[in-house]
Amino acid sequence: MATQEAVQAPVQTDDGSEEALISGWIAQNLGAQVARIERQGRWRPAWFVDAVRDGKPLPLYIRGERTENFLPYGLRREYEVHRTLEAGGIRVPRLHGYIEELPGSVMDVVPGRSNLFTCDDPAARASILEQLAQQVAAMHALDIEPFRKAGLAVPSEPRAVALSLFQEFYDNYARHQQRADPVMEFCAQWCLRNAPESDEPARFCASDAGQFMFDGDRLTAMMDFELSALGDPLIDLGAMRIRGQWEDLGDLPTFYRRYEELTGRKVDLHKVRYYTAAFSLSGAMASAICVDQYLAAPSDDADHVEYLCWFVWEAKQAIEAIGEYMGIALEKPAIPEPGKSPMNQAIFALSAALGEGDDGTAVGAYRAQVQRTIIAHKRLIDQYGAAFEREFLADAAALLDRSPATVEEADALLEDHVRAAGPESDEVLLHLLHRRICRQAWLLAVPGSHYYTGLTEPLLPI
């Protein structure tokens, strides 16, 4: 991709070597001069770049590797998948190359925004949902051989097709698990025990499906393929239920019906419920590694509450999807009156001392928001944590016929109990562990968070 008339001088930056590295790569490989680089304000390294080539603007986006990468694979795999989708005619941002030293994927900036919540035009919403169904159906129809060459594993038999994504994440979780977690163990054993046999060979699946940009009434690009796998396409339909809790994807039953028309394949809602649980748990298992390993010594840009939300929110959706699959109604535990302690005053004092902490940049605004959510989370722990701990220990004692002294002891004993139990114990464990995860979720339910609904309300049925 190098050009013969490359501009050699990179933009001068005061932000460190990453910006200079990006500028030099763009000059050498794209023959463009960088005028501005701005780091995106979020937990993942990413940059917006204004470049000029032959007198014409060339707006670029650089997607960097996760700083805390707790997935079984990395950015290079996603880049190869993205490139394969582009070659297959899927509407994705145009790729320009890969910066090995960063690392980072270089792509066009795509016009538009995400989240249909921001679109109040019914006709535009219907058009975008139709285009989304067409794009998902087209992805599922692609030849899988190029994806195999891109590094995606090909399942060998029908049950492996159903477990293709889940098995990789479960094996990764088992290798890195550092503490007992009965919720994760119960959900994992249930998913392994109830995995269906796929009716057809593996197809390309985005897995973390339903991510797209739109402008007006046009879907401008599908995006984010780092969890891609070769498996049962119904996993994408299940995953969209989870994303739809905090990012409006339109009416999913309408989407499912249109998907059936486009593909000629029946959407088995019972299987979709299974894949909702399996996908949610896959995300929770990956996030558990992040919580155990990376939050012990986080980077400057780690979002403590965001990472905890991924873990608890997805575990909650997994256990609620299992209840839905089994036809068992799960009830949220009652929330006690908030307690008060001297620590509450210290938390308010800390909030005042930190102030806004915003230096006017996107990264500064992001870091200030991280501080605010940590303080709000600590306030919820101060108000409800002790009562929730007592309630969980009482639940554990009633089931185990012994009284664990600490939450850690209760978790270890319950995890052992889950491993020894059979399917006949599923309903009792489901209710107990659902109460456990709902209490954990409430401690993360920071008002204004886009996870708030998923943390405080049950999974919507289909």
pLDDT, tens only, 411-444: 999 999 999 999 999 999 999 999 999 999 999 9
Residue with tokens 């109460």: 435
State how far the alpha carbon of 97 is from the alpha carbons of 29, 65, 76, 109, 145, in Å: 8, 14, 11, 14, 22
pLDDT score for 13: 44
CB distance 123 to 217 below 8 Å: yes
Helix (H) or strand (E) holding 107: strand 104-108
Taking only the tens place, the pLDDT of each residue in 26-39 is 999 999 999 999 99
Helix H or strand E encompassing 214: strand 212-215
Residue 10 pLDDT = 37
pLDDT of residue 14 exceeding 60, the answer is: no
Q: Which two tokens stand for residue 164?
A: 């293709």
Tell me 131's DSSP state. H
The answer to whether residues 382 and 339 touch, using CB atoms and an 8 Å cutoff, is yes
Confidence (pLDDT) at 12: 41
Residue from 29, 40, 30 nearest 62 by CA: 40
pLDDT of 16 reads 52
Q: Which of 45-54, 213-222, 340-349 has the lowest mean pLDDT?
A: 340-349
Tokens of 62: 């650089």
Q: Residue 9 pLDDT > 60, yes or no?
A: no
**Mean pLDDT for all residues in the chain:** 92
Q: Is the pLDDT of residue 5 over 60?
A: no
Tens digits of residue pLDDT in 404-418: 999 999 999 999 999
Q: Is the pLDDT of residue 161 over 50?
A: yes
Token pair in block for residue 435: 């109460």
Per-residue model confidence (pLDDT) at position 79: 98
108-153 pLDDT, tens digit each: 999 999 999 999 999 999 999 999 999 999 999 999 999 999 999 9
Strand order in the sheet with 104-108: 33-39, 46-53, 56-64, 104-108, 95-99
Cis peptide before 103 (omega within 30 of 0): yes
pLDDT bracket for residue 69 (50, 70, 90): confident
Name which of 426, 454, 419 is nearest 440 in CA terms: 454
Q: What is the pTM of this model?
A: 0.92
Quick one: pLDDT at residue 296? Answer: 72
The whole-number pLDDT of residue 8 equals 32
Q: Which residues pair with 46 in a beta bridge?
A: 63
* Residue 293 confidence (pLDDT) above 90: no
Contacts 24+ apart (CB under 8 A), 385-393: 385/443, 386/339, 387/336, 387/339, 388/439, 388/440, 388/442, 388/443, 391/333, 391/435, 391/439, 392/435, 392/436, 392/439
* Span 257-289, pLDDT tens digits: 999 999 999 999 999 999 999 999 999 999 999
Q: Which residues of 187-223 are buried (b: 16+ CB within 10 A; e: fewer)?
A: bbbbbeebbbebeeebbbbbbbbbbbbbeeeebbbbb
CB 393 within 8 A of CB 407: yes
How far from 461 is each of 153, 191, 312, 329, CA to CA, in Å? 32, 19, 20, 11
Give the pLDDT confidence of 171-194 residue by residue, as tens digits.
999 999 999 999 999 999 999 999
pLDDT category at 344 given cuts 50, 70, 90 is: low
Query: H helices of 327-361, where?
Result: 342-354
Task: Give percent of the chain with pLDDT exceeding 70.
Answer: 93
Can you tell me the distance from the alpha carbon of 136 to that of 209, in angstroms, rounded to the nearest whole number? 9
Report which secondary-structure segment, H or E, holds 286: helix 269-289
Q: Which pLDDT score, from 0 to 100, does residue 350 have?
A: 66
| The pLDDT of residue 96 | 98
The count of residues in the chain is 462
> Residue 2: its pLDDT value, please?
33
pLDDT of res. 130: 97
